[in-house]
Amino acid sequence: MTLQIFRVIVRGKFDRLDDASRSTLLAAAAAHDVTRAAFRADGTFTYDTRLVAFSFRYELRDDGDDPEGAIMDRARVMAESSLGALGVGYRNLRVEATNMADVWRREVRFSDRRCDRGSRPTRPAR
C-alpha cells in the first residue's frame, strides 16, 4: 500500500466546564482562534470565547490496509488526549477525514477539462 495523506477535522462541544477550565480556555482563546487554524501533524486546537464548540485539525499519514479508519481512530485518540491533558470536559466528538490524493485527482480532472475548452473556463448564461 502506498503512503496516503489525510486532512482530519475532529469537532466537538465543550461540556461541564468548571470555573478553572473556563478561565484557562478564555486566557488562551486568542492563540486558538480559527484564523490560526492549520492542518499539522501535532494538530491545531481552535475555539472561540463562547466556549461552546471546538475543533482539532490534523494532517496525518498512513500506509496500512485501512488507512482512513486508522487515521480517524488516531485523530480521535489525539484529540481526546489533548482535551484530557487540559482537564476539559467534552461531548459529541465527530471525525471527518479527507484523503488528499482524492482531492488532487479531482483537481487534475478539472484542469484537464479546462484545457480542452481553452485557457478560460466558460461561464454559465445568466
Helix residue ranges per DSSP H, 10-126:
19-27, 67-86, 100-117
pLDDT of residue 97: 94
Structure confidence by residue, pLDDT tens digits, 5-51: 999 999 999 999 999 999 999 999 999 999 889 999 999 999 999 99
Structure confidence by residue, pLDDT tens digits, 38-84: 999 999 999 999 999 999 999 999 887 777 888 999 999 999 999 99
Q: Which domains does the chain have, with CATH numbers?
A: 4-117 (3.30.70)
If you count them, how many residues does the chain have? 126
Phi, psi (5° rounding) for residue 15?
-145, 130
Structure confidence by residue, pLDDT tens digits, 72-123: 999 999 999 999 999 999 999 999 999 988 776 655 555 555 555 555 555 5
10 pairs with which residues across the strands?
A: 56, 95
Cell numbers at 53, concatenated: 464548540
Residue 96 backbone class (left: φ over 0; alpha: ψ -120 to 50; beta: rest): beta
